[in-house]
Chain A
């Protein structure tokens, strides 16, 4: 870029957050510059070769309904699809796909590079241009400048990234890629508060060195469901994954060498995720377990590079090899790359508004790991929201803010700005208090009004979403019909259910625990199971009918909270002047500055007693 150029939106980072930001902003009519350290690494999957999973699968669905690319990219590159949690409750069913990393990366990067409203630039952003509390652009290491009305920072683990393998330390954003320095320091000078987190990744094995006969095999679902509503003619491969288990010998090697792990020697300052523990963590915290499952996942189709899920570590490479060679099937294992831990800077997300715009600097948005989250899906969802809201800001329109009752994305953003970040934030279904309403199969029901209003969807996706909604309505309608005993009793007997003795609405029969739409086989539904849309509509219809009472009770809870969620708290409250709340509440509320009463209730350290004191005061004032 020879001259200083001007854009609507500047996106710094080409990971899962940055991609969604750039694509959606361009869809909303903005000119976009995407600055990345390496234009050949756009959409790279740094860690596991999978998209979706528990709670994350629901997020990918929501991204899809809000116009994001992640679902479509996954359908395009998936090599094994599976719905997890099928035995555990309908609202926690979660789709997951193993993907071909190369295919995924090439699909999304081509979407970015072929978009004529997005310009891609290789470079490193070192500081921001700002004036009068508003961001104006970015400055690159080369000294070049780019101007933009909004700037979205999606720096991943690159901010002052530091890799640890045993005692070895490498300054990098990812193995083999240099990190980004300067932005943290610049933001600190503006008064932002930063912290340090860490995460880890397991070794990549050479598949030809694995004795596959000693491992167990798992496959995906026979009849897979795609992530994106837009996907048609879906016929992905169903590649096997393999598992093996660690043993006592392996455990002893790790225990003997714990002191060589920087996490245990105190070399790593950042806090790591408890839900994704390193193998060192597992053997020390759960010393009573002698074995842990390891998953051997291919990184791409017919790949010899194997991702060893479950063995995240920062032990020295020779110890990693020594321990793994004691595991069945890995006796002669060789590495392409050892596991490592990485420390990086993040900014406390309490400094953000619900739109993901920073409170300090108008026009500046943060998305992804810079907000202390982990996971491709969490990053992509934030990138999408930041991209939408950057466009809205420029167009002087209301930002898109999802409620906790509308989606996991709403839960995540609200959690980020109200809760203390003590470890990298990952989505769990248990974080959603209205979980029963947030099914993967009703993402479109929940969010399509937002998509419509904000014009987020391509015509093709919009059409498919409408068709799916119509099919669900049609099925529900047909289940209101009554059925005669003569037509159904033989089927009920075959299922071991009690027979009926008078005409009964079909939906009442469907409420029985062992009855499903398929076991009724009533031909009320013309769609065949070969159609993914029909299979999925059935899942949703069964949930709606079988969970009717609970869905209603959750909706009542939502309604009860509605007043709190819609009562705004003025931005200028001096919490230190409020006498009847605790010191901790004063400090936390002053830092977070909740936008609504509902948010104030969720701020870490604020007790119900504080809230009742606040409500007395606040109701007096209005």
Chain B
């Protein structure tokens, strides 16, 4: 199967490197490659050393070319990959040669799009490809590789199949069986819906973790002026990112620092101390600090008063820290983490607390995590449908077509997620799994 024209694009970023890879996909991929290399490339899936020529016959580079015959290729079409020397001029010449032969420069993501069109992967897997390329930590890479291999799709499909089975049962009752539901069946339908709802919610909750791995965590350091917020930022990332001074109101702009904690990419943001600002610049800094707090995934409130109150604001996890423990003699409040940025004490405890507040722990290898807002929205929509299906049973009665309506909208949410819609599946399932009476 192919999608019409032949496309070409560099697969590695443009820059100077040892090697660079150009990919070509489409019905004329082999023909163009043969013209450009003056050679018949016969071997499938094995590397061949060739000389690459441009359209005028001028030599461009010695390169390695690999041929993939459809449908056993990334895109599901005939493909070649050319590994040339990693010089932008060479890569440009290779791409231009293919274009002069009739190929078209690929749109962003077009190879993956073709893989999707040709049934090589579903939408969730395709999303995994996009996320993998942007992954910042090894844990995130592993997670996306699981998704590309289809493990998340499998989990979604499992839920989908159970929904399809239940809808099939209801449709069988409405379209084939002329008998009433037995008392047992009447009890079982709401029970099954409840179980499915629970399953959808469990899947939905994995997004908290998946989102952290994929999109990272934004932690905002906040508190009154001159308690050592900037010192904490510097201590956490082990370098002198923010300017520190004994003068209150030193930090006005937002200072950011990145680090990886438990496989999760963190961005720590140091903000202006919150007080009635003395200048317009500091005022703006305070306003920005307040705004940032709303969007943060984690808030770290810093104080230098060992008796500080722990007033939690917002819905996100909130950690309270008292700095300058080296100066305090009073008994520390246990709800607060006491550190000394100066003596580097208490930082380990703080890091552990951050991990536990965000529930960062080892990832089970048999569960895949939802990792994009689209995935999360679709699973939530499915859960919502299941909740409404339960409400029908409670408030309108066991009216099968209404229950089916809700379950079908749940299935639809998953189909959209995977990039397929297959109403025929339900009808087929009825006949394949159920005995028809009359």
Give which listed residue, B3, B4, B436, contacts A277 with CB less than 8 A.
B436
Which one, A133-141, A251-259, A289-297, A524-532, is touching chain B? A289-297
B residues 390-438 touching A (CB-CB < 8 Å):
395-397, 399-402, 404-405, 416, 419-421, 423-424, 426-427, 430-431, 435-438
The answer to the question of B117 belonging to the interface, with a C-beta cut-off of 8 Å to chain A, is yes
Q: Given the complex, which residues of B lie within 8 Å of A275, measured CB to CB?
A: 176, 431, 436
A430 touches B171 (CB 8 A): yes
Of residues A277, A289, A604, which shows the largest number of chain B Cβ atoms within 10 Å of its Cβ?
Answer: A277
Q: Which of B1-20 contact A (CB under 8 A)?
A: 1-5
Q: In the complex, are the beta carbons of A293 and B1 less than 8 A apart?
A: no
**In the complex, B66 has a CB within 8 A of chain A:** no
B175, A428: Cβ atoms closer than 8 Å: yes
- With contacts A292-B437, A579-B3, A608-B419 known, is A54 near B174, CB below 8 A? yes
The interface centre, meaning the residue of B174, B178, B402 with most chain A CB atoms within 10 A of its CB, is: B174
A429-B117 in contact given A550-B405, A579-B3 (Cβ < 8 Å): no
Tell whether, in the assembled complex, residue A54 and residue B176 are in contact, meaning their CB atoms are under 8 Å apart. yes
- A436 in contact with B402 given A289-B435, A580-B4, A609-B117 (CB within 8 Å): yes
A286 touching B435 in the complex, CB below 8 Å, given contacts A428-B175, A578-B4: yes
Closest-CB distance, A215 to chain B (whole angstroms)? 16
Q: Which residues of the partner chain B approach A581 to less than 8 Å between Cβ atoms? A: 3, 117
Once the chains are docked, how many angstroms separate the CA of A282 from the CA of B419?
Answer: 36
Q: B435 near A282 (CB under 8 angstroms)?
A: yes
Given contacts A275-B431, A289-B435, contact A87 B180 (CB under 8 A): yes
CA distance A579 to B426 in the complex (A): 31
- The residue on A at minimum CB distance from B174 is A92
CB distance from B402 to the nearest CB of A (A): 6
B333 within 8 A of A: no
Q: Is B427 a contact partner of A431 (Cβ separation < 8 A)? A: yes
A274 interface contact, C-beta 8 A:
yes
* Chain B residues within 8 Å of chain A by Cβ, number: 39
Show 11 residue pairs from A and B whose CB-CB distance is below 8 angstroms, ordered by the A residue: A55-B175, A85-B174, A88-B173, A282-B436, A285-B435, A295-B438, A428-B171, A429-B175, A431-B427, A579-B4, A608-B419
Contact flags A263-284 to B (C-beta < 8 A → 1, else 0): 0000000000011110000100
When the two chains form their complex, are residues A546 and B401 in contact, meaning their CB atoms are under 8 A apart? no
Tell me if A430 and B174 are in contact (CB < 8 A): yes
| Distance between Cα atoms of A610 and B113 in the complex (Å) | 11
Q: Are B397 and A513 in contact (CB under 8 A)?
A: yes
- In the assembled complex, the CB of A108 is this many whole angstroms from the nearest CB of chain B, namely 25
Distance, CA A244 to CA B273, complexed state (A): 86
Bitwise, A570-610 to B at CB < 8 A (1) or not (0) is: 00000000111111100000000000000000001001111
B68 interface hit (Cβ, 8 Å): no
Structural contact, A429 and B401, CB atoms closer than 8 A:
yes
Q: Which residues of A contact B180 (CB under 8 A)?
A: 87-88
Most chain-A CB neighbours within 10 Å: which of B2, B176, B405? B405
Known contacts A54-B176, A581-B3, A582-B117, then 18 further A-B pairs from the complex at CB < 8 Å, ordered by chain A residue = A54-B178, A88-B173, A88-B174, A89-B174, A89-B399, A92-B175, A282-B435, A286-B435, A310-B437, A428-B175, A430-B175, A547-B399, A579-B4, A579-B5, A580-B117, A581-B117, A607-B420, A609-B419
Residues of chain A with a CB closer than 8 A to B419's CB: 607-609
> Per-position contact with B for A422-460: 1 when CB-CB < 8 Å, else 0?
000000111101011000000000000000000000000
- In the complex, chain A residues whose CB is within 8 Å of the CB of B5: 579
User: A553: which B residues are within 8 A, CB to CB?
Assistant: 405
Other-chain contact of B438, A293, A430, A436, A578 (Cβ < 8 Å)? A293
- Asked whether any CB of chain A lies closer than 8 Å to the CB of B181, the reply is yes
- Inside 8 A of B438's CB, which chain A residues have their CB? 293, 295, 309-310
Count of chain A to chain B residue pairs whose CB atoms are closer than 8 Å in the complex: 111
A487 to chain B, nearest CB (A): 24
Contact indicator A90/B2 (Cβ below 8 Å): no
| Nearest residue, chain A, Cβ from B175 | A428
Shortest distance between the CB of B247 and any CB in chain A (Å): 58
**Residue numbers in B under 8 Å from A286 (CB-CB):** 435
If A54-B174, A582-B1 touch, whether A604 touches B424 (CB-CB below 8 Å) is yes
Contact B401 A91 (CB under 8 A): yes
Q: How far is the CB of B432 from chain A (nearest CB, A)?
A: 8
How far, in whole Å, are A306 and B191 apart by their CA atoms in the complex? 43
Is B118's CB within 8 Å of the partner chain A? yes
A578–B436 Cα gap in the complex (Å)? 43
Residues from 164 to 196 in A contacting B, C-beta threshold 8 Å: none
Cβ-neighbour of A89 out of B1, B118, B401, B436 (below 8 A): B401
Question: In the assembled complex, how far is the CB of residue A53 from the closest CB belonging to chain B, in whole angstroms?
Answer: 8
Please give me the residue from chain B that is nearest to A292 by CB atom. B437
Question: B268-286, CB under 8 A of A: which get 1 and which 0?
Answer: 0000000000000000000
> Across the interface, do A608 and B421 meet the contact criterion of CB distance under 8 Å?
yes
Residues on B with beta carbons closer than 8 Å to the beta carbon of A276: 436
B98 within 8 A of partner (CB): no
Nearest residue (CB) in B for A48 is: B438
B contact residues around A554 at 8 Å (CB): 405
CA distance A285 to B434 in the complex (A): 10
Interface contact B401-A435, CB-CB below 8 Å: yes
Flag whether A401 is at the interface (Cβ < 8 A).
no
User: Which residues on B sit within 8 Å (CB–CB) of A285?
Assistant: 435
Enumerate B184-225 residues with CB–CB distance to A below 8 Å.
none
Contact A92-B400, Cβ < 8 Å, known A54-B176, A429-B174, A430-B175: yes
Complex Cα–Cα for A523 and B5 (A): 73
Q: Which A74-89 residues have C-beta < 8 A from chain B?
A: 84-85, 87-89
> Given contacts A309-B438, A550-B405, A582-B117, are A84 and B178 in contact (CB under 8 A)?
yes
- A-B residue pairs, 8 tightest by C-beta: A579-B4, A286-B435, A89-B401, A274-B431, A89-B399, A428-B175, A430-B171, A513-B397
What is the minimal beta-carbon distance from B24 to any residue of chain A, in angstroms?
A: 16
Task: Determine whether B266 belongs to the interface, using a CB cutoff of 8 Å to chain A.
Answer: no
A550: contacting residue among B171, B175, B402, CB under 8 A: B402
Q: How far is the CA of A609 from the CA of B176 in the complex (A)?
A: 33
Q: Which residues on A sit within 8 Å (CB–CB) of B2?
A: 583
Indicate if B116 sits at the interface (CB-CB under 8 A).
yes
Kindly state the separation between the CA atoms of A274 and B427 in the bound complex, as whole angstroms.
Answer: 11
Whether the pair B401, A92 counts as a contact (CB closer than 8 A) is yes
Tell me whether A90 and B399 are in contact (CB under 8 A). yes
CB distance from A39 to the nearest CB of B (A): 33
Across the interface, do B405 and A580 meet the contact criterion of CB distance under 8 Å?
Answer: no
A106 to chain B, nearest CB (A): 27
A495: min CB distance to chain B, Å: 14
Contact present for B427 and A88 (CB under 8 Å):
no
Most chain B beta-carbon neighbours within 10 Å: one of A88, A274, A292? A88
One of B397, B399, B420, B427 near A428 (C-beta < 8 A): B427
